[in-house]
Amino acid sequence: MMKLGTRLAAVTVAVSTLLGSASYAQDTQEHYGMVVFLKGSEFFNWSYAGFQDAAATVGATTELQGPADWDASAEARAVDQLVAKGVKGIAVTAGDADTLAGSINAAMAAGVPTLTFDSDSPNSDRLLFVGTNNYNAGFAAGKAIGEEHGDEARVGVSLIPGLDSITSRLEGFKAGLASVAPGAQIVATVNDEGDLQKAETVNTAMLQANPEINVIFCAHGNPATGALSATRNVGRMEGANKISVLAWSLDVPILQGIEDGEYGATVAQNPYMMGVMSFWMLWSAAHPTQFDSLTSPGMGQVPTADLDTGVKILRQGDPAVQALMSPPKI
Amino acid sequence: MTITERTIEADQTALVSRLVSSRQFWLILINLAVICTLGALRPDSFLSWINFKAVLSLMSYDVLLAVAMTTVLIVRGLDLSVGSVLALSSVVMAMLLRDGYPVFPSLLAGLAIALLCGFINGLLVVKAGILPFLVTLGMMSAARGFATVLTTGQYVSFPQAPRWFSRFARQEFGFHIGDMFYGIPALLLITLGVTLVYGLLLANWVPLRRMFYLGESPEAAKLSGMRTARLGISAYLISAIFVWIAAVLMTSANKIGYANYGISAELRALAAAVIGGASLAGGSGSILGTFLGVLLLALIGNGFVLLNGNPNWQQATIGAVLIIAVGVDALRTFRARS
């Protein structure tokens, strides 16, 4: 009886020790959060996949929070909740720069490294911004068009006026185009109002007024299908006079159009890389070394400049097109 | 001069006077003036069949939404949700088509959604007496939000759907003159067809004519025994049907459903309806006038681009036209009252 009691006690101690060490491992496993708007969209699913994959390499865990629509205040609440939960770092894409600033500042003040990715909140205290540098992306697009069409490129631009991001893209585009094809010209610019249907209307008129246009540069995500329809309306969707449409989108129908040869190319941002780099920046900030961050004392080193994750100009036959057509399910 | 000659002369004078005081007459003249001006400034690009076809085809959606808006304006209502309901209806149809449902049940589901939105609008405005501006502003936000949540803001394509559906809106019917083929897209023909039929019914069919009486004086309409509540809600339901037709055509023509369809469409629809003679005070409006209003806005937009106008001023120009139209409407209402 005594022996049985001793054995039971020994087993109990052993089990407790095992459970205790498992629980300790659970407690010491670092946890990071990502906050997005349009949760469930392919773009941010790519970002979160990158975030998750990077975290897995150091045994950290992650969670994705945010609204399924554009509600920036819901994002702000999600940031607050993650701070209360005690996460080691937060990557947030700002649905609205000013709405998010308060929550980002509060998180940083609480010692939780917080950065923005894809959409910035520049006036907040965020660690840094990880995403596409619009000028550089525009430059890459302009250079690609210049290399393809040379001095013969006559470009029509479809955009929404007055937005800083689009203005930077256009400036970069002009510089990139001029860098390889100084004789190339931007012939006309139209306001598509961010509406796909409006894009078809104004691009059709633009092509009518400027028959010399042989390229349409879509400076944001919405006008591509409208611009393509415009080329059909003026009978220049195919044949010798075909107008090349340069999209700015990773949406599957656009990628399918690239594969089918309907679009000339698309400017592909790298949302997966945004997720990967966001995690590494947060991890670095959460693990201070002998020198603190120059901009955020008490936190580990991160670059003092924003991090450009770059773009790729995708054309028909590029293996990345097929890969991007199968976005991760989260 | 005989009595008969005097009578004919008086009739002619009355006809001319009526014509000159008609909004549609002036709109036709203004449209012609814009056409002549653009034709003179950009003869090659503006006076081409391709350009006319594009202008008329691409204004089809705005015509349908403006007719929807005119219908509710007649009964002293307003519908700011036309663009958002279009998007929601389109998204629902596209998602069902994507998931392999047959075309007609998918289209009927889109119609059901549009009618539901219209019914809620009508019920809250007519029965609960809430301002149409507030009700439809709420619906505008809710419908767009719902469409965005359903799609996470992305295009919904339906490659598995029957090909005829993704082709029919752009299918062209036309005629040859010499070597040239003059094709008219189905979306324009359908729009003109339903608009024409509705315009004739609205002008001549008593049950629809009653909407004018309701808009002119709801109290008098009620006292005369009209079922004003039913009539008011019906106007929102009719409006929803036109929104749905626009959604079907847009989904077919673009081969995608999209939560961002119809952004700012409510303003263009309102502008066109008011330019065309509909009054925010209710009781007036015509389908021909609305069509001419949409045409005017389309021509201004087309001319703006053809003349390579600064894109920063494009929306401002349309806004200025709307302000002028609303100003004229306010002046007309003031004169009528005084």
Report whether pLDDT(A221) > 50: yes
Q: How far is B285 from chain A (nearest CA, A)?
A: 26
Containing A35, the helix (H) or strand (E) segment is strand A31-35
ipTM over cut 0.95: no
Lowest-pLDDT choice from A185-189, A287-291, B40-44, B89-93: B40-44
Please provide residue A225's backbone torsions phi and psi, each rounded to the nearest 5 degrees.
Answer: -65, -35
Enumerate the residues of chain A whose CB falls inside 8 A of the CB of residue B48.
208
Q: Quick check: B171 contacting A, CB < 8 Å?
A: no
CATH (domain of A256): 3.40.50.2300
- Domain membership flag for residue A192: yes
* A174 and A90 co-located in one domain: no
CATH architecture of B24-337: Orthogonal Bundle (1.10)
> Vertex A193, ends A202 and A199: CA angle to 5°?
35
* A142 and A264 co-located in one domain: yes
The pLDDT tens digits of the residues spanning B129-177 come to 999 999 999 999 999 999 999 998 888 988 888 989 988 888 888 777 7
The pLDDT tens digits of the residues spanning A94-124 come to 988 999 999 999 999 999 999 999 999 999 9
* A198 and A107 co-located in one domain: no
* A209 and A234 co-located in one domain: yes
Report whether pLDDT(A28) > 50: yes
The pLDDT tens digits of the residues spanning B195-236 come to 999 999 999 999 999 999 999 998 999 898 889 999 999 999
Question: What CA–CA distance (Å, rounded) separates B81 from B240?
Answer: 10
Segment A195-214 shows an average pLDDT of 89
* A112 and A141 co-located in one domain: no
Contact B311 A252 (CB under 8 A): no
- Domain membership flag for residue A292: yes
Whose CA is closest to B274, among B319, B220, B211?
B319
From the list B154, B256, B261, the residue facing A42 with the nearest CB is: B154
Enumerate the residues of chain A whose CB falls inside 8 A of the CB of residue B301.
201-202, 205
The pLDDT tens digits of the residues spanning B47-64 come to 888 888 888 888 999 999
From the list B148, B264, B302, the residue facing A205 with the nearest CB is: B302
* A52 and A75 co-located in one domain: yes
- Domain membership flag for residue A96: yes
Handedness of CA B314, B320, B322, B324 (dihedral sign): negative
Per cent of chain B over pLDDT 70 is 95
A234 confidence band (pLDDT: 50, 70, 90): confident
Whose CA is closest to A153, among A185, A125, A182?
A185
Q: How far is A330 from chain B (nearest CA, A)?
A: 13
* A46 and A123 co-located in one domain: yes
Q: What is the pLDDT of residue A93?
A: 95
Whose CA is closest to A166, among A248, A47, A253, A70?
A248
Q: By residue range, what is the domain housing residue A192?
A: 134-269
Q: How far is A167 from chain B (nearest CA, A)?
A: 12
Question: What CA–CA distance (Å, rounded) separates A152 from A121?
Answer: 40
Interface A–B counts its CB contacts (< 8 A) at 118
Quote the number of domains for chain A. Answer: 2
Per cent of chain A over pLDDT 90 is 69
Retrieve residue B9's tokens: 């002369």
Q: What is the pLDDT of residue B177?
A: 78
SS3 B216: helix
* A252 and A277 co-located in one domain: no
- Domain membership flag for residue A246: yes
Report whether pLDDT(B321) > 90: no
Domains of chain B, residue spans: 24-337
